[in-house]
Structure 1
Amino acid sequence: MLSINSLINSIKRIKAGKKSRAAAEGAAPLIVPRSDHNISRDLISPSALKVLYTLKDAGFEAYLVGGCVRDLLLGYEPKDFDITTNALPEQVHRLFRRSQLIGRRFKLVHVRFGRDEIIEVATFRAPPEAKNHVDDQGRIMQDNVYGTLEQDAWRRDFTINALYYNIRDFSIVDYTGGIADLQAGLIQLIGDKPVRYREDPVRMLRALRFMAKLGLKLEAETEQLIVDLAPLLGDIPPARLFDETLKLYLSGQAAVTHELLCHYGVFDHLYPQTAALLHQEKDGYPRTLLMKALENTDKRLADNKPVTPAFLFAALLWEPLRQRWLQLSKDMPEIPAMQRAAGEVLTEQIQIVAIPKRFSLVTRDIWTMQPRLTRRQGKRAFALLLHPKFRAGYDFLALRAQSGEPLQELTDWWTTFQQASATTQSDMVSALGTGGEAEKRKPRRRRRRKPVIKKVE
């Protein structure tokens, strides 16, 4: 962690949160020289360094900014390296052959390196109110108002995300008190806090994600406003909330993040069907299954194993799906009931958080595999084993068993069946007999065709 206590004690500046934004803006920034911080160029992506030096050599200002600077100061390895500059997007685009202009509301440049690495470059932004680019609720609708480095710092969300690493002298530039907040372990909104949340309610989700990821605490007003303003998330487009859901639950701290979402009442506005049942849980349902799924997700990510969002959504929505399935099964066969319940639950959910078809179709498959896995007689078990979604369905069955549903015997059977020889598999199926769980098929009556009598003329 950054060791700058002596430096902070020697600095006479306004700390963010102590005085108003108007009073703090215009004050000289805190400049932390290279000798007083721990960020080395060896820790920075070579591709990001190439972009920084290219911009500098072309006569532009160039800084690493945001989460990468914050994470490096805290001793974490950044996932992405973002850059900000006074060069306009079109000027940046001309400097890099493998670059692409993207975005409308927030135009920026993606510079590609190799097959997978992208360095994002944004031009300094001025506050959106400078051009009245906000709607009646205070949300930012247009954000291509270019400005200075200082303006860019004051328009960012949290003080710990408004730190800049200057490639010219390797110093850190801090206008908003982010260094002091890092030292205090605080996450604090910049400026007028209610206004900042209203500008973009997704900042509430980001605040909770940073809490889980960094182990920091929220500054008092930044925290209280999440409880008060959480309903504003209902105004966010479902597609954007899908992206935020992946960030919340697939960043390696899913279990802790979920607890925070529930604690601050945010989960109710993202997954209301599940939230309503979480408040009515009995004997650990459905919280047990969901928490086990999130813990398993964290473990897989820690082990560098793949995680599919479809499985996550299957767990997030399992309890409302299960309740509706049981209700529909009273009047129709259980597999059609499952299919209908899945359609109803997903249709209701995507009005709030969009789930692309490439994931929702797999989620449906995982769910519909559940009743199918109880039907093992004859050739069914062998056919299910070849189903492309068998493994995901089996994993979900095992998760249900771990969560207390009476399915351990069935799960153990499938565990053994997968690993057994062909002869043993046949014996296992034969031992099941023909009764019990299998539905007996009624023999179809053959209709006799009526003889065709041709008329002889």
Structure 2
Amino acid sequence: MFKGFTRFLQSPSGRLKSLFEPQESPSGPMVPQVIPRDEHPVSRQHFSEAALKVLYRLDSAGFGAYLVGGCIRDALLGKMPKDFDVATNATPEQVRDLFRNSRLIGRRFRIVHVRFGREVIEVTTFRGKPSDDHGNHIAHQSENGLLLRDNVWGDIQEDAIRRDFTINALYYNIADFSIHDFAGGVHDIETRTLRLIGDPATRYREDPVRMLRAVRFAAKLDFHIAADSEAPIHELAPLLLQIPPARLFDEVLKLFMAGHGLTTFRLLSHYGLFAMLFPEAEEAMVDLPWAEPLIEQALQNTDKRIAEGRPVTPAFLLAAFLWAPVVQRLAELENSGMPPIPALQAAAQQVISRQLHHTSIPKRFGMPMRDIWELQQRLPLRRGKRAFQTREHPRFRAAYDLLLLREQAGELEPGLGDWWTAFQQGDEHEQRRLLQKVGGDPASQGSGQRKRRRRRKPRPTQDS
């Protein structure tokens, strides 16, 4: 955290309490602690030009304009924010009228996306209490408390109370550059505490995805979850089964593709949440001792690639997560007499069909995932030209990486992975030597098939 801000936080204890602990006014509503510009380190230099354009245009039109949430949290933690969310008292329609480069999205939560080239600034209208009825804008909840639709407009105080975590209820006012802290978020940032606003069980029932967000932020920020905020998670984890699979897949990408996948996986497993996302993988980890080490090593490798700025694909992680269930079903089908190749195809289909009830898998990831699995049967087959053909497969590298993980986790005896490593790195002479070791030198076997003699066309006769 910035040195100046640290000194500010180390002010006398009485001042610290008055600044950062949320206060109740005599009439009841939460009163924000306003931190003036000269007492916090957040500067407009932390914000993108696009975010500032949105703020200034809303302000000049007479609306309130605040940066809110993660961008303020990250700036206070000494990080450069990447995403910028704006909160305002302007309705979505009023925001759309101000920006020609905007569009309304969402039904459950109506928001406005303002696009500047590749950058999108998300603008939300202050939300009110779910039980309020403001004109035609009503919040709808299920019997279990799940918010089905929430387009109730309110004021900034109501909006802050509706935020999920205290560290996300921080508002930067473009009018005077002050920070409004409604729930003690600055203090929780200093103590690295993740705390829900309001009654945790109620907030999780309103939106069970908040349990996943709690884990994601704890892993990303290296925060601990407050005791009262983590207490209901084990009991309420099954509420995630109410969430549409498409939304949960988006959450899976956020959980595992941000560079903190291994820590995230361990926290999800600890709170019983991983079983709600990947139930068959969870079951396989009980029966197969190598299943969990394989997943952990896959996540560790992915985290390393992200840290190095190298490309990653969800297809590989999904293949690793679900490989153990495929192996179990494959064994059952082969034991029933089905040949290996159709058995693998059937096992893959069964595993995917069950998984789709929990998280969707778009085709752009599902097809490569299947290829990675099917190549596990081809990698041991290296006679003739098969090794060269396998190496040229578009998914070979990912399949090879999964093979190495299988060996590291103890599913397979080491050896095949080393052979493929040497084959990729070797020159033509070394490749021939490796093929001879497995009896597959294409030079001695030709193409593995008899060369067909070319038929000559009969010469035309004079009569033809």
Greater Cα shift, 36-45 or 255-264: 36-45
Return the letter of the residue paired with 2:150: D
> Partner residue of 1:67?
70
Instruction: Quickly say closer, same or farther: Cα 1:216–1:377, change in 2 above 3 A.
Output: same
Question: Aligned partners of 1:113 and 1:160: how far apart in 2?
Answer: 27
Question: Aligned partners of 1:139 and 1:405: how far apart in 2?
Answer: 42
Is contact 1:67–1:161 with CA below 8 Å preserved after alignment? yes
> Partner residue of 2:198?
191
- Count of matched residue positions in the alignment of Structure 1 and Structure 2: 432
Is contact 2:166–2:184 with CA below 8 Å preserved after alignment? yes
User: C-alpha offsets along residues 39-65 of structure 1, whole Å, 9 cap, x if unaligned?
Assistant: 111111121111111111121110000
SS in 2 for 1:329: helix
> Partner residue of 1:452?
none
Please, which runs of 5 or more residues in structure 2 have no aligned partner? 134-138, 442-447, 451-464
Is contact 1:252–1:298 with CA below 8 Å preserved after alignment? yes
> Partner residue of 2:185?
178
Instruction: Quickly say closer, same or farther: Cα 1:294–1:102, change in 2 above 3 A.
Output: same
Aligned counterpart for 1:117 among listed residues 104, 116, 119: 119
Question: Aligned partners of 1:27 and 1:7: how far apart in 2?
Answer: 23
Give 1:313 deviation, angstroms: 0.4
Question: Aligned partners of 1:418 and 1:12: how far apart in 2?
Answer: 64
TM-score by length of 2: 0.88
Aligned counterpart for 1:31 among listed residues 29, 34, 46: 34
Greater Cα shift, 350-359 or 327-336: 327-336
The percent of aligned pairs where both chains have the same amino acid is 51
- The answer as to 2:281 corresponding to 1:278 is no
Instruction: Quickly say closer, same or farther: Cα 1:375–1:292, change in 2 above 3 A.
Output: same
Question: Aligned partners of 1:7 and 1:42: how far apart in 2?
Answer: 29
Question: Aligned partners of 1:333 and 1:23: how far apart in 2?
Answer: 76
Please, which runs of 5 or more residues in structure 1 have no aligned partner? 436-440, 444-457
Is contact 1:14–1:24 with CA below 8 Å preserved after alignment? no
Instruction: Quickly say closer, same or farther: Cα 1:209–1:304, change in 2 above 3 A.
Output: same
Instruction: Quickly say closer, same or farther: Cα 1:434–1:174, change in 2 above 3 A.
Output: closer
Is contact 1:163–1:178 with CA below 8 Å preserved after alignment? yes
Is contact 2:37–2:177 with CA below 8 Å preserved after alignment? yes
Give 1:407 deviation, angstroms: 4.7
Return the letter of the residue paired with 1:272: P
> Partner residue of 1:366?
372
SS in 2 for 1:83: strand
TM-score by length of 1: 0.89
Give 1:95 deviation, angstroms: 1.8
Instruction: Quickly say closer, same or farther: Cα 1:339–1:224, change in 2 above 3 A.
Output: same
Give 1:192 deviation, angstroms: 2.3
Question: Aligned partners of 1:14 and 1:127: how far apart in 2?
Answer: 24
Is contact 2:382–2:440 with CA below 8 Å preserved after alignment? no
- The answer as to 2:261 corresponding to 1:254 is yes
- The answer as to 2:343 corresponding to 1:337 is yes
Is contact 1:8–1:180 with CA below 8 Å preserved after alignment? no
> Partner residue of 1:303?
308
Aligned counterpart for 1:397 among listed residues 389, 392, 403: 403
Aligned counterpart for 2:416 among listed residues 386, 410, 414: 410
> Partner residue of 1:290?
295
Instruction: Quickly say closer, same or farther: Cα 1:179–1:333, change in 2 above 3 A.
Output: same
Give 1:423 deviation, angstroms: 4.8
> Partner residue of 2:61?
58
Question: Aligned partners of 1:180 and 1:362: how far apart in 2?
Answer: 46
Question: Aligned partners of 2:115 and 2:235: how far apart in 1?
Answer: 41
> Partner residue of 2:445?
none
User: C-alpha offsets along residues 48-104 of structure 1, whole Å, 9 cap, x if unaligned?
Assistant: 111111111121110000111111111123231111111111221122222121111
Return the letter of the residue paired with 2:96: H
Return the letter of the residue paired with 1:415: T
Is contact 2:46–2:81 with CA below 8 Å preserved after alignment? no
Aligned counterpart for 2:105 among listed residues 89, 102, 106: 102
- The answer as to 2:362 corresponding to 1:356 is yes
Question: Aligned partners of 1:205 and 1:69: how far apart in 2?
Answer: 21
> Partner residue of 1:383?
389
SS in 2 for 1:63: strand
User: C-alpha offsets along residues 229-249 of structure 1, whole Å, 9 cap, x if unaligned?
Assistant: 111111111111111111111
> Partner residue of 1:126?
128
Is contact 2:30–2:157 with CA below 8 Å preserved after alignment? no
Is contact 1:201–1:233 with CA below 8 Å preserved after alignment? yes
Give 1:410 deviation, angstroms: 1.3
Question: Aligned partners of 1:275 and 1:366: how far apart in 2?
Answer: 21
Instruction: Quickly say closer, same or farther: Cα 1:426–1:27, change in 2 above 3 A.
Output: closer
Is contact 2:268–2:274 with CA below 8 Å preserved after alignment? yes
Return the letter of the residue paired with 2:124: A
> Partner residue of 1:84?
87
Is contact 1:376–1:429 with CA below 8 Å preserved after alignment? yes
Is contact 2:104–2:111 with CA below 8 Å preserved after alignment? yes
Give 1:427 deviation, angstroms: 4.4
Greater Cα shift, 231-240 or 5-14: 5-14
Is contact 1:397–1:407 with CA below 8 Å preserved after alignment? no
> Partner residue of 2:456?
none
Give 1:422 deviation, angstroms: 3.9
User: C-alpha offsets along residues 168-205 of structure 1, whole Å, 9 cap, x if unaligned?
Assistant: 11110011221222223221111122211100000001
Taking only aligned residues, the RMSD between alpha carbons, in angstroms, comes to 2.3
Aligned counterpart for 1:144 among listed residues 151, 162, 171: 151
SS in 1 for 2:131: helix
Give 1:414 deviation, angstroms: 1.4
Return the letter of the residue paired with 2:45: D
SS in 2 for 1:141: strand
Question: Aligned partners of 2:52 and 2:192: how far apart in 1?
Answer: 29
Is contact 1:52–1:167 with CA below 8 Å preserved after alignment? yes
SS in 2 for 1:243: helix
Question: Aligned partners of 1:111 and 1:33: how far apart in 2?
Answer: 28
